[in-house]
Chains A and B, each alone.
Chain A
Amino acid sequence: MRRIVCFGIVVCAGIGGLLAGFEDADANPLDTFGFGSRWVAMGGAATALADDTGAIYYNPAGVVQADRVHFTIGYFYADPSLKINNYNIGEDRTSGTIAGVITPPMKFSRFKFGGGAAIYIPDKRVARSLAIPYDQPTFVAYGARNQRMVAQFPFAFEIFPWLSVGGAISMFVKTGGGPNFLLRENRPGNEGLWSEGSISATQKGAFFPTAGLLVHPNKWLHIGFCYKAKNEILYKVPLKVTIEPLYVGAKIPLIGESYIDMDQHVYTFFAPEQFTFGVGLRLGGRTAIGADLTLARWSGFRQPAPEGATVYSGGIAAFIPPNPNYPLPPPDFSDIVIPALGVEYRAFSSSSWEVFVRAGYRFRPSPAPEPTGWNNFLDNDTHIFSFGLGVAMLRVEERLRVLRGPIVADVHFQYFLLEENETDKVHPVWDAYGDLRYGGRVVNSGLTLTLCF
């Protein structure tokens, strides 16, 4: 039965497009920056409104609202300027290509079914998993956490014309296993020999669901709900080294065969469990207003620094002290509530063109406690302002003949303002980094192009 379930999950994860069969880093860059210029410009307040490829990320129940094939491709570039004690730490930028497709809904009796795929491909790498020591200052919401590929595969059903449900699956990869080394000394008698190594590692899929609900009580009111499961991967890095007897210039072995057995593990790829409730208003065909409220359960955040033990045995054990594992204390993050508000206004309309202006605001409180102790997990209350423009080309079939249209181009600009925090350490003398002042800003801009077939 388990294999059947696994097979089903694998199939679901692949249907609709590209597999997220790639490794990921801490959390989800789309949680930070959003998906699609239209909805980013509206502050991400799209849970009740998204009816295009944006629905794949914001609320998969909206996928079935599209009445034809949508294809979206875009790019965004986010440049952080984060400072600790007035020093810019040179945090990595996040930039990459997004793409999404929605298939036209298929009808079974009175039910409608829709699907699609969305993907974010970073410029630099498929993924980066960076786990640094517990006491090294790090902004937990930025940096390596956003350096990863993301893919989602949604499906949605319209049960009644006023009620849709949907889901999506994303797949990460967890790695287990590691290398073994047999090291030999370069000495007389070892001619023709080398050191040797073997590796045995398995990457397994880890699946994380998203579920959504969309209700349309009437033409102008839309209500949405979206649940996103917690993401977290346990990454194990075992390593074994065998060192043959060492002669170090003598004629008899001075150090007997030695063994180093290291077992490191780290929890990574964390994204909090999220519950989002959204309301959308479409007023008079010209204005759309969205409002979202998200509960993000950061209390489930485990300390992300590597932990482990190293055991020395054999000859070298007499010279090197053991390194047992001392469990690191939990980071004690808190759950947060994130409000978001967005507005879209159709500023110009003709038989051939439409122009939209958009604006949005999101407030993301910090889930991190004040780092007065040994850990330095940093985060700030963050105000996120956004605005954007959209241009839709209508009557495409008459003009280009090869496409039904419309063709829509959207641009966005997003500004993150991190309120500066100041922390006094409990033990400022013993602490390697001392008292901290930290804050900064992030600027994100991008564009998307959507073709409707």
Chain B
Amino acid sequence: MGGAFCAVADDFTGGYYNPGGLLTTAKTRVGVGYFYSKLSLQQNGADIPLDRSHRDGAILGFAFTLPFLDALKDKIAFGYNLFQPIDYVMDISVPQPSTPQFVLLDSYTKANIMHIALAVDVYDGIAIGGGAHFTSDLGGSLDLKPGIRGMQGTNVIMTTVDQDAQPIIAPTAGAMLSPGRWYAPLERLTIGFVWRDRYYLDLNIPVTILLGSIPLRLDFTSKLVYTPRSYTLGAAYRFSEDLLVAAEVSYNEWSAFLAPSLKIATDIKIPLIPLELLPGVIEDPHFSDTWTPRVGFEYRGIRKEAYNLVFRGGYAYDPSPVPEQTGWSNFLDGNKHIFSTGVGVELKRVLGKDVSGASPALQTVLQYQWIQKTRHAKAPSVRSFNPGYPTITGEAESLFLGIAVTMEYGGT
């Protein structure tokens, strides 16, 4: 549905798209799926080689109302979602700042994401929810002193590795309104609002290398997998039992973007020798805030005794926050057009048995992302060996395939 789901959020992913949507239904919702995505990036018309041109992973989640009784029955719900790449938990690749790169697109799917959410029905027709993304950063130090200490006649390297992982918790909040509860003509309308705080992984590792008796100190920091703070407002209208249309718009605070390039502080002191090493600095990326509109529909087009077929489609336009790259860096991300379509098979009978109570379904999705071509001209102050000198172009596309098995059961 093009991601236009904040005012729908009625399946196992509801806690992620809108924590307030967890109470859309009292049924327990469970889903597990697999996705595959492939990236194709180009610089000056030539392919950019990637360590991982394709990525795949598992998506799973559940949502259910807590089994309270009486006044709290179906009033509090919990949701959990996990996005887990198959081959890794986190894949960090930070090129040198001047290396041409699609800094936003290439960050995608590089780390696992865990999201939990809780929703409360605060008033008839109004549910609010809160949640959080959980991940961890890396800190600590690598005290890589190739110190030589005599041991049983041999010299042995003595090293201390002290790595500290701190939790990163990025909060989300959402609300789901059903105005039909107060004004009957609007009973087919739902309105959703979601706020997501920004998050990024904070890499901060000091390294000490002992060159003979001379310490070389390298402190490097990086902000990885930056995701901006965003505000999303959406509406969904169910024209009939079979047709649902949704639209939303997000405001993304990309202006606070922190470039992932390594910031390096160097320190080496050699007696009587005037050696000074240059630090590694990061230019302010000067990204801009963006608005992202999304639209989508869901149509239960075929109803049979044993199954239903549901067709979905959507579109989103994600403008690039990246300014023209006139300086040292070469961030090539352009405006993004996202087209998506999918089919769901809702099973009602399997091998002659009625399974409608568990509502098993198979969902599929195909998404194509087209990143428009960008062209950047360097300022005269940029040295000629910058890979973007004097001009550079970038273009990209991405294909995403997914499949999921879902179930809904219980509830009222």
Contact = CB atoms under 8 A, between A and B. Distances in A.
Interface of A: 3, 6-7, 10-11, 13-15, 17-19, 21-23, 69, 121, 125-135, 173, 177, 179, 181-186, 190, 192-205, 235, 237, 239, 241, 243, 246, 248-249, 260, 262, 264, 266, 305-310, 312, 316, 319-321, 323, 325-326, 328, 374, 397, 401-404, 430, 432, 453
Contacts of B264: 181, 195-197
B90 A14 contact: no
A308 B140 contact: no
Nearest to B260: A199
Contact of A185 (B71, B95, B96, B277): B277
A21 B89 contact: yes
B284 interface: no
30 contacts: A15-B60, A18-B114, A21-B114, A21-B135, A125-B165, A125-B166, A126-B136, A126-B167, A128-B163, A128-B165, A130-B162, A185-B275, A185-B278, A192-B383, A196-B280, A198-B94, A198-B99, A198-B262, A202-B88, A203-B91, A205-B89, A237-B161, A239-B144, A239-B209, A248-B274, A262-B146, A306-B161, A308-B159, A323-B146, A432-B149
B156 A328 contact: yes
Interface string B127-152: 00000001110101010101011111
A197 B146 contact: no
A320 B147 CA distance: 12
A391 B89 CA distance: 42
B78 to A, nearest CB: 10
Nearest to A8: B58
Contacts of B32: 11, 15
A235 B161 contact: yes
B86 A7 contact: yes
B69 interface: yes
Interface string B348-390: 0000000000000000000000000000000001110000000
Given A126-B166, A198-B262, A239-B209, 15 more contacts: A10-B58, A21-B112, A127-B136, A128-B162, A179-B220, A184-B278, A194-B281, A195-B277, A196-B97, A197-B261, A205-B88, A262-B146, A264-B159, A266-B161, A453-B66
Interface of B: 32, 34, 51, 56-58, 60, 66-73, 80, 82, 84, 86-99, 112, 114, 116, 134-136, 138, 140, 142, 144, 146, 148-152, 154-167, 203, 205, 207, 209, 211-212, 216, 218, 220, 222, 261-262, 264, 266, 273-281, 381-383
B394 to A, nearest CB: 19
A241 B218 contact: yes
Contact of B60 (A14, A192, A204, A453): A14
Nearest to B211: A320
Given A320-B211, A321-B212, A403-B68, A131 B161 contact: yes
A308 B157 CA distance: 7
Contacts of B96: 182, 196-198
Nearest to A325: B157
Contact of A194 (B69, B148, B159, B279): B279
A237 B86 CA distance: 23
Contacts of B56: 3
Given A126-B165, A320-B211, A194 B280 contact: yes
B266 A183 contact: yes
A229 B97 CA distance: 44
Contacts of A134: 151, 156, 158
Contacts of B90: 173, 201-203
A262 B151 contact: no
A394 to B, nearest CB: 16
Contacts of B71: 401-402
Nearest to B209: A260
A133 B158 contact: yes
B203 A239 contact: no
A14 B84 contact: yes
Contacts of A326: 151, 154-157
Best-surrounded residue of A129, A177, A193 (most CB of chain B within 10 A): A129
Contacts of A14: 58, 60, 82, 84
Contacts of A197: 94, 96, 220, 261-262, 264, 280
